[in-house]
């Protein structure tokens, strides 16, 4: 009887650990709606930790509100390593914003992304559907 109880207890603990390990790495996020409301650009900074694998990355994604592009899922259009200071580590907070990242809609179909000082992005998409995307 105690052997069955031990197996059940170990199985329960292992299953609980697997189910409970859902980590959301987003430490900063902000949405920018286009002037006509058809698109939403989302900037976010993700932070991962670990021995030798710690990483911070900032990305900008875009999605069409009516869901007609990419089945309504966000599509990454810009990303770069880093993201400014992250004073509140592993917590979603506006204090983790990268102050050098500027995102603005010039027209309903033109999104401009600016980062000063210059960075070395890992992804730059310049056209998606009927949108023009420019980087400075």
What's the gap between Cα 98 and its chain centre? 13
Is 5 inside a domain boundary?
Answer: no
Please tell me the predicted confidence (pLDDT) of residue 32. Answer: 97
Token pair, residue 109, equals 């179909």
| Predicted confidence (pLDDT) per residue in 69-120, tens digit | 999 899 999 999 988 888 888 889 999 999 999 999 999 999 999 998 878 8
Give the residue numbers spanning the domain of 60: 25-135
Is 20 inside a domain boundary?
Answer: no
Is 12 inside a domain boundary?
Answer: no
**Residue 43 class from Cβ within 10 Å (0-12 exposed, 13-18 middle, 19+ buried)?**
buried
Q: What is the mean pLDDT of the chain?
A: 87
Is 14 inside a domain boundary?
Answer: no
Is 85 inside a domain boundary?
Answer: yes
Is 9 inside a domain boundary?
Answer: no
Spatial CB neighbours of 48, under 8 Å, sequence gap ≥ 6: 25, 54, 55, 56
| Predicted confidence (pLDDT) per residue in 14-64, tens digit | 555 455 455 689 999 999 999 999 999 999 999 998 888 888 999 999 999
Q: How many domains is the chain built from?
A: 1
Please tell me the predicted confidence (pLDDT) of residue 20. Answer: 47
Give pTM, 2 decimals: 0.79
Is 52 inside a domain boundary?
Answer: yes
Is 11 inside a domain boundary?
Answer: no
Sign (positive or negative) of CA dihedral 76, 113, 102, 38: negative
């Amino acid at each position: 009887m105690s052997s069955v109880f031990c197996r059940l207890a170990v199985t329960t603990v292992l299953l609980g650990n697997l189910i409970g390990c859902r980590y959301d790495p987003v430490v900063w996020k902000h949405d920018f709606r286009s002037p006509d409301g058809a698109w939403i650009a989302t900037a976010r900074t993700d932070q991962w930790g670990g021995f030798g694998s710690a990483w911070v990355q900032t990305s900008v994604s875009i999605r069409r509100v009516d869901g007609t592009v990419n089945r309504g899922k966000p599509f990454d259009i810009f990303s770069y390593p880093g993201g400014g200071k992250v004073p509140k580590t592993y917590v979603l907070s506006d204090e983790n914003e990268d102050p050098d990242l500027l995102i603005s809609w010039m027209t309903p179909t033109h999104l401009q992304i600016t980062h000063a000082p210059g960075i070395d992005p890992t992804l730059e998409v310049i056209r998606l559907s009927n949108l023009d995307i420019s980087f400075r």
